[in-house]
């Protein structure tokens, strides 16, 4: 087990470096620069800028500089936002995304698991059909449609919730609901499917034959196996949710990491793009690892050597 974890952790470093290198190359291949704008710059001013940011050095030198920065964990200063370091920007904006993300995650888990378990227990009942129909709707309606619809109803129609921006708890409701909808729907469907499969398996029948009561069967035996598909789905999903979701952050003007990421690409803000890409890739790999580890605890049949 320990060996497995160490090996996986070691792989993360070269993978992240590879991701960053490819990103760097792509940025360099894209035409334009962080300072290209509507008005043409006099050549002397362009020279001043190149000197200031070390863009007058050779590509090889610039690449090595970048790699050195990444390895030291310091991505330097943003090109666009003067006097702000990349690490500072990520640190500052992560909490916004994380707050919304974690709340949406919890909401999705509660709603999704409840709906899924109930649907599985009362298979083919009206409850099953209704919750699965709503789940299907949740999967099919993209959040850039759901968000504005919620805004129209609750912010512009009823004037009971703010339409956007960061602020109090009331500001959180719409984005969290919008964000969690699709995850809740997936979790509900996965839970239902997982539970149905497990409930039909031999060891559950054995447990029933042993005379265990329904509650113990359900919570101790069925649920542990039944939610494995949910875990493998929600692990990476949590990483995505934490790191910011572009669409919802845009719709609700939330100063989260996803918003910053998009802006950094439009601005061709190289250090910031690289910083966020590195951070995201590491985050996703770590969560994948955590998911893999958790399998071992959930399902006694899975073992790591």
Partner 1 sequence: MKREIFCGLVLALISCILTSCSSSTAGGRYWGKTEPPKENVLRYISGSEPESLDPQIPTGQPEARILMALYDGLVEYHPKTMAPIPAIAESWEISPDGTEFIFYLRKNAKFSNGDPITAKDFVYTFRRGLSPELAAQNAYLAYEIKYAQAYNSREAFVKDKDGNFLLKKDFFEDTKASKSESDKTSTFGPDTEFHRFINSPERLTVPLDEKTREAFFKKNPKIKEAVEGKELVPVRAEDIGVEAIDDYTLRLKLALPAPYFLDLLAHQFFRVVNQRVIEKFGKEWTKPENIVTSGAFKLAIHRPYDVIVVVKNPTYWDAENVSLDRIEFYPSEEQTTSMNLYKAGSVDAIYNHTVPASWIEEMRKFKDEYLDHPEVAIEYYTFNVTKPPMNDIRVRKAFALAVDRFALSKFRKTTKPLVDFTPEGIFPQYEAARKRVYEELLKEYKIPVEEWEKRYFNPAKACQLMREAGYQVRDKENGRCEVLNFPADEVSVTYNTSESNKAVAEFMQAQWKQNLGITVQLRNMEWKTFLPTRKALDYKGMARAGWVGDYMDPNTFLKLFYGPDNDSSTGWYDPKFDRMLDEANSETDPEKRFELLARAEFYMLQAQPVIPLQTQATNWIKKPYVKGLYPNPGTLHAWKFVYIERDPAKWDRDVDNIMKESDPIIEEKIARLMQTQIEFEKRKKAGA
Q: Which residues bind partner 1 (CB under 8 A)?
A: 30-33, 35-42, 44-45, 47-49, 51-52, 77, 80-84, 89, 92-93, 96, 126, 130, 148-149, 151-153, 155-159, 162-166, 250-253, 255, 259-260, 263, 268
Q: Tell me how far, at minimum, the Cβ of 252 lies from partner 1, in Å.
A: 7
- Report in angstroms how near the CB of residue 15 gets to partner 1 at its nearest: 29
Toward partner 1, which CB reaches closer, 129 or 203? 129
Classified as helix, coil or strand, 217 is helix
We find the least distance from the C-beta atom of residue 184 to partner 1, in angstroms, to be 18
Minimum CB separation from partner 1 for residue 86, in Å?
13
CA distances from 204 to 26, 81, 210, 225, 270 (A): 53, 59, 10, 11, 55
Of 174 and 190, nearer to partner 1 (C-beta) is: 174
What stretch of H or E contains 225? helix 223-226
Q: In the complex, what is the shortest distance from the CB of residue 26 to partner 1, in angstroms, rounded to a whole number?
A: 14
Beta carbon nearer to partner 1, 89 or 237: 89
Query: Phi then psi for 77, rounded to 5 degrees?
Result: -95, 150
Q: Give whole-number Cα distances, 91 to 42, 131, 279, in Å.
A: 36, 39, 11
From the list 222, 241, 253, 240, the residue with the least C-alpha distance to 281 is 240
Between 96 and 186, CB nearer to partner 1: 96
Shortest distance (Å) from residue 283 CB to partner 1: 20
220-246 burial, b for 16+ CB within 10 Å, e for fewer?
ebbbebbbbbbbbbbbbbbbbbbbbbe
Q: Least CB distance from residue 123 to partner 1, whole Å?
A: 17
Q: Which is nearer to partner 1, 141 or 193 (CB)?
A: 141
CB-nearer residue toward partner 1: 14 or 157: 157
CA distances from residue 30 to 114, 177, 182, 268 in whole angstroms, order as listed: 47, 37, 33, 9
Residues facing 85 on adjacent strands: 77
Please identify, using beta-carbon distances, which residue of 14 and 32 lies nearer to partner 1: 32
DSSP 166: S
Q: How many residues does the chain have?
A: 305
């Amino acid at each position: 087990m320990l060996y497995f974890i160490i090996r996986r952790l070691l792989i993360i470093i070269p993978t992240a470096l590879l991701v960053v290198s490819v990103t760097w190359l792509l940025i360099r291949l894209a035409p334009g620069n962080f300072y290209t704008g509507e008005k043409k710059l006099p050549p002397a001013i362009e020279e001043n800028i190149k000197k200031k940011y070390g863009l007058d050095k050779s590509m090889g030198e610039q690449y090595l500089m970048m790699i050195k920065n990444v390895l030291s964990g310091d991505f330097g200063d943003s090109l666009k936002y003067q006097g702000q370091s990349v690490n500072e920007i990520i640190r500052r904006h992560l909490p916004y995304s994380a707050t919304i993300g974690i709340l949406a995650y919890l909401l999705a888990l509660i709603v999704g698991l409840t709906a899924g378990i109930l649907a599985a227990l009362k298979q083919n009942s009206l409850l099953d059909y209704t919750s699965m129909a709503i789940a299907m709707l949740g999967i099919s309606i993209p959040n850039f449609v759901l968000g504005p619809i919620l805004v129209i109803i609750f912010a512009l129609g009823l004037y009971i919730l703010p339409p956007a921006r960061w602020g109090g708890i009331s500001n959180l409701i719409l984005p969290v609901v919008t964000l969690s909808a699709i995850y809740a729907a997936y979790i509900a469907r996965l839970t239902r499917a997982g539970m149905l499969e497990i409930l039909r398996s031999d060891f559950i029948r054995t447990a029933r034959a042993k005379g265990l009561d329904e509650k113990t069967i359900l919570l101790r035996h069925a649920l542990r196996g039944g939610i494995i598909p949910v875990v493998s789905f929600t692990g990476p999903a949590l990483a995505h949710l934490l790191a910011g979701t572009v669409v919802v952050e845009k719709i609700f003007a939330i100063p989260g990491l996803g918003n910053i990421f998009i802006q950094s690409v439009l601005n061709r803000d190289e250090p910031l793009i690289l910083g966020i890409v590195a951070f995201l890739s590491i985050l996703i790999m770590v969560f994948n690892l955590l998911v893999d580890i958790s399998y071992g605890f959930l399902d006694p049949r899975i073992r790591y050597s």
